[in-house]
Structure 1
Amino acid sequence: MPWFVKIETGIVNKKIFDQYVPAHKKYVLDLINQGHEAKTGYWGDYGGGMLLFKAASLEEAETIIKKDPLIVNNCVEYELHEWCIVVE
């Protein structure tokens, strides 16, 4: 399966954003348990972060990220890209 990356920028204040972090973590753990090898994190120097995961296609990747609580609750703007690995 190819890798995909959701690059996100926060669009709400931290108090609102932090309300959805536990649900986002559960969502990522569910992705891991489903075999998507998901990893999530945030930028150390400014607001925003990234979700890296495997999916069968861009269409499946779009379906997956639309279920992310950070997106469902309008906490982030995002870009979705297929990540083509050159060297492993």
Structure 2
Amino acid sequence: MPWFVKIERGIVNKAIFDQHVPAHMAYVKDLVAKGHQARSGYWAERGGGMLLFQAESLEDAEAIVAADPLIANHCVEYELHQWCIVVE
């Protein structure tokens, strides 16, 4: 399966953002359980982060991202890219 990366930047204050973090973490764990090999984290300087995952196609990746509670609750702006690995 191809790899995809969602690069995000927070657009709400931390208190609002933090309300949706538990649901986001459960969402990522569900992606892992479904075989998407998802990994999620934030930048050390805060204010943004990244979700790396596998999906069958760009369309599937877009649907996966749309289901992220951070997206659904308008907490972040994001870019979605297919990531082409050259060295494993």
What is the TM-score when the length of structure 2 is the normalising length?
A: 0.99
- Matches of 2:64 and 2:46 in 1, distance apart? 25
What is the TM-score when the length of structure 1 is the normalising length?
A: 0.99
Is residue 2:63 matched to residue 1:76?
A: no
Alignment of 1:42-61 (within 5 A): 42-61=42-61
- Matches of 1:8 and 1:21 in 2, distance apart? 14
- Matches of 1:68 and 1:85 in 2, distance apart? 24
Instruction: Give the Å deviation of 1:45.
Output: 1.5
Structure 1 segments, 4+ long, off by >4 Å, are: none
Instruction: Give the Å deviation of 1:87.
Output: 0.2
Q: Helix, strand or coil for the counterpart of 2:36?
A: coil
- Matches of 1:80 and 1:72 in 2, distance apart? 15
Q: Helix, strand or coil for the counterpart of 1:44?
A: coil
Alignment of 1:9-88 (within 5 A): 9-88=9-88
- Matches of 2:50 and 2:83 in 1, distance apart? 12
Q: Helix, strand or coil for the counterpart of 1:45?
A: coil
Q: Which runs of 5 or more structure 2 residues have no equivalent in the other structure?
A: none
- Matches of 1:21 and 1:50 in 2, distance apart? 14
Length, aligned pairs only: 88
How many percent identity over aligned positions?
Answer: 72
Q: Helix, strand or coil for the counterpart of 1:20?
A: helix
Q: Which runs of 5 or more structure 1 residues have no equivalent in the other structure?
A: none
Match of 2:19, as an amino acid? Q
- Matches of 1:63 and 1:50 in 2, distance apart? 16
